[in-house]
Amino acid sequence: MIYEKIASICPSDAAACAYAKRRWDSIAKPLCGMGLLERQIEKLAGVDPALALDRKCVAVLCADNGVVAEGVTQTGSEVTAIVAANIARGQATVANMARVVGADVFVYDVGMLSECESVPARKIARGTENFRHTPAMSRAQAEQTIETGMDIARELKECGYGIIASGEMGIGNTTTASAVAAVLLGVAPHLVTGRGAGLSSEGVAHKARIIEEALALHAPSAADPVGVLAAVGGYDIAALCGLFLGGAYYGVPVVIDGLISSVAALLAVRLCPAAADYMLASHLSAEPAARMVLEELGLAAPLTCGMALGEGTGAVALFPLLDMALAVYRNMPTFGDIAVEEYKPL
């Protein structure tokens, strides 16, 4: 079922993108004076020419990872449910940021070990297996979780949201994301493995070795994105992959957050290149793989803050910039309006 939907995803409206570019170039300001924000408004116009961004939300997808048993994190998996509950109560970082920008927060359990009454459960398993010894999940589980993410995108679109920020929470998910990135990018694990939530240099080296051992054991192929996800991924990454594919299928733009969601976005694009038309980059994460993954996606991030928090915080931070860029796009006079000769490309 998901493959039929994925195959039917079409590129965004190139004519609407081109119109938006002409509008930017006609505005009484230096050409490309708003930089990447101009390109992002053009991209959004290709998804929805009306640029209806008034209603915004962030979807935070939470899951646990069996590889935590290998000592790749500072904290245990119990922290995932604690933070997820804090998000649901409006107390976590992303919840505070979202209130400032007028975005609604939705948090989902797509694979947590623990149950949490305040977090809707959409999971098919309580965390992944330890991929050092066995595949993280079955192929069927990966596909089912991708479909869950697509369903979440549909539900949010049906609720009237014009743009979705992608978020995640899951202790150990920089390990899973780094493992998936190593395969998709075709690079050695140590080049894409970072500190996550504060590992020492020795901890990072250990984390990279665990990933290297897992890749040697499972030998996932970059030509099979779902197989890579099943071998060394996480349920949060799978659901995020589905969120990006669902955004493309149902016609709602999705903002990439940091490393974990960018890896999920890359999986989505490997499954359906047209899905890239419906994604926006937000910030350049502090993780070493972040720049490589965004470059592979052909995207540049407007924000370079050194953030390494997750939850969708970087994606939410993009929202006010988009609002300001859209205000310029809609309200500024043109060169013709003020009787000044237009700038010409040199």
Report the alpha-carbon distance of residue 239 to residue 168 in Å, rounded: 10
The predicted structure's pLDDT at residue 346 = 60
Helix and strand totals (H; E) in the chain: 14, 5
Total count of domains within the chain: 1
Q: Which residues contact 108 (CB under 8 A, 6 or more apart)?
A: 59, 60, 61, 62, 119, 120, 121, 122, 152, 239
Q: Which residues contact 18 (CB under 8 A, 6 or more apart)?
A: none
Q: Is 11 contained in some domain?
A: no
Which CATH number covers residue 163?
A: 3.40.50.10210
Question: Residue 196's closest CA among 316, 110, 61, 71?
Answer: 71
- Give the range of the structural domain holding residue 173, as residue numbers without chain letter: 52-323
Q: Is 71 contained in some domain?
A: yes
Q: Is 110 contained in some domain?
A: yes
Residue 73 identity (one-letter amino acid): T
Report the alpha-carbon distance of residue 95 to residue 85 in Å, rounded: 11
Report the alpha-carbon distance of residue 151 to residue 81 in Å, rounded: 22
User: Which residues participate in catalysis according to the annotation?
Assistant: 311
Q: Is 338 contained in some domain?
A: no
pLDDT beneath 70, residues of the chain = 346
Q: Is 157 contained in some domain?
A: yes
Q: Is 45 contained in some domain?
A: no
Question: Residue 166's closest CA among 334, 332, 315?
Answer: 315
- Residues 257 and 282 sit within 8 Å (Cβ to Cβ): yes
Q: Is 13 contained in some domain?
A: no
The predicted structure's pLDDT at residue 340 = 75
Q: Is 339 contained in some domain?
A: no
Question: Residue 186's closest CA among 208, 215, 209, 206?
Answer: 215
Q: Is 51 left (phi over 0), alpha (psi -120 to 50) or beta?
A: left
pTM of the model: 0.96
Mean pLDDT, rounded, of the chain: 95
